[in-house]
Amino acid sequence: MYDFSQLTGAIDAALHRSMTPGWALFTELVIIGLVVLILYALVGLFLVYLERKVCAFMQNRVGPNRVGPYGIIQTIADLIKLLMKELIPIARADKFLFNLAPFVVIIVSFMALAAIPFALGLQAIDLNIGVLYVTAVSSLGVVGILLAGWSSNSKYALIGAMRSGAQIVSYELSVGLSLLTVIVLAGSMQLSEIVASQADGWWIFKGHIPAFFAFIIFVVASTAEINRGPFDLAEAESELTAGFHTEYSGIKFAFFFLAEYMNMFIVSALGATLFLGGWMPFHIGHWEAFNHIMDFIPPLVWFLLKTFFLIYVIMWFKWTFPRLRIDQLLTLEWKYLMPLSLVNIVVVAFITLMGWHF
């Protein structure tokens, strides 16, 4: 497998040769920032298009097919339209918080994206508390939502924001506990190490029963975390409130919209990394020949395949199921998912101690 740290090492060496260490560091930061920014924008645009196409095919129709071949420029056209829209100011709204809220949400998802390992050596930040960092940073997203609802000066935007906030905070517990399952199995929170530990098989297979349940809980809980699918009551138009982003228009609305799709990507990437092996190809134990064949497909492709598989599943949820009511949603978490996660943690701890996993 190609190790990207050779490439990054070479760039680093080149910069250090031609500039002072301070400037070299600064240039590296700028390069990383630009790469992440461009990645964010591209993936976001692509995901919006993907959603529309997936949704269309499930609904027995074609989806965007006019703007560009197979409609691939559709999202850019929508973006241009949003940029040209009037930014409607709100009377008696807290202007600073009102403008700050979309930025909080976007910056938070940026920060989470930076920690995801895309391939061997291709990771912006590799902290030894990687998983904790990602979950902590995503939790800050709630702040952005509550700020948006509060500063809109609209009673029903506030109620929508509170509902979203309650939903996200509740489901974070289940997400955290299911991630904890893999951390216990792998013995580390560092994302690159978790991926490396799956060199002889993905945790969803090695960790058998508890890892499988943790995976299911993770997929359900993270769909609720990102306010999607059957859990999108707070922003669904068939209820009386259009949610926390009612009062936003134009580019600020585009930020919330984009952040939602990127959160979907981050959550899928996290699931793929922890449960499905990240960029690690599909290896079975120590079957060298088989593993060697699997290695022919580049790790980056593996990663993207797994992530987009999870994204497809999340989209599938949204277009199939009716919505849950807010009280049914919270009941699901507190009475069903949470106890199940706790039991799962105990089981996996026991299994790890006894060495009963692969």
Partner 1 sequence: MSEAVIRDIIVSESDDYIINMGPQHPSTHGVLRLEVSLMGETVKSVTPHIGYIHRGIEKMCESDSYQQIIHLTDRMDYLSAHMNNEAVCLCVEQALQVEVPERVKYIRTILDELTRLSSHQLWWSAFGMDLGALTTFFYGLRDRELILDIFEESFGSRLLHSFNTPGGLMHDVHPNFQKSVREYLKYFRKKLPEYKQLLTDNVIFRQRTEGVGVMNREMAISYGVTGPSGRGSGYSCDVRKIAPYSAYPLVQFEEKLQTAGDSYARYLVRMDEMWESMHIIDQLIDNIPAGDFTAKMKPVLKLPPGEYFQRVETARGELDVYIVSDGNKTPYRMKFRSPNFSNLFVLNELSAGGKIADLVAISGSLDLVIPDIDR
Per rule CB under 8 A, count of chain residues that contact partner 1: 27
Tell me phi and psi for residue 122, to 5 degrees: -105, 80
Residue in this structure with the two tokens 């509170």, named with its chain if needed: 162
Taking the complex as a whole, how short is the minimal distance between the CB of residue 323 and partner 1, in angstroms?
3
Residue 92 near partner 1 by CB under 8 A: no
Residue number, 185 or 311, with CB nearest to partner 1:
311
Q: How far apart are CA 40 and CA 109, in angstroms?
A: 9
Which part of the chain contacts partner 1 (CB under 8 A), choosing from 28-36, 56-64, 66-74, 110-118? 56-64
Per-residue burial over 31-68, b if 16 or more Cβ lie within 10 Å, else e, is: eeeeebeebbeebbbebbbbbbbbebeeeeeebbeeee
Q: How far apart are CA 244 and CA 256, in angstroms?
A: 10
Footprint (CB under 8 A) of partner 1, residues 291-350: 318-328
Residue number, 55 or 294, with CB nearest to partner 1:
55
Instruction: Count other C-beta atoms under 10 Å from residue 22's C-beta.
Output: 8
Residue number, 292 or 335, with CB nearest to partner 1:
335
Q: How far apart are CA 46 and CA 105, in angstroms?
A: 19
Q: How far apart are CA 313 and CA 308, in angstroms?
A: 9
Residue number, 226 or 266, with CB nearest to partner 1:
226
Sign of CA dihedral 264, 270, 271, 272: positive
Residue 200 near partner 1 by CB under 8 A: no
Which part of the chain contacts partner 1 (CB under 8 A), choosing from 62-70, 225-233, 280-288, 347-355? 225-233
Decide: 255 and 79 in contact? Cβ < 8 Å: no
Q: Within 13 A of 227's CA, how many CA atoms are on the CB side?
A: 29
Footprint (CB under 8 A) of partner 1, residues 228-267: 230, 232-233, 236-241
Residue number, 240 or 353, with CB nearest to partner 1:
240
Residue number, 180 or 311, with CB nearest to partner 1:
311
Residue 155 near partner 1 by CB under 8 A: yes
Residue number, 125 or 326, with CB nearest to partner 1:
326
Residue number, 86 or 237, with CB nearest to partner 1:
237
Which neighbouring-strand residues pair with 247? none
Residue in this structure with the two tokens 């580049």, named with its chain if needed: 298
Taking the complex as a whole, how short is the minimal distance between the CB of residue 108 and partner 1, in angstroms?
27
Decide: 24 and 16 in contact? Cβ < 8 Å: yes
Which part of the chain contacts partner 1 (CB under 8 A), choosing from 79-87, 170-178, 226-234, 285-293? 226-234
Taking the complex as a whole, how short is the minimal distance between the CB of residue 67 and partner 1, in angstroms?
21
Residue 156 near partner 1 by CB under 8 A: yes
Q: Exactly one of 5, 6, 18, 59 binds partner 1 (CB under 8 A); which one?
A: 59
Residues at the interface with partner 1 (CB under 8 A): 55, 58-61, 155-156, 230, 232-233, 236-241, 318-328
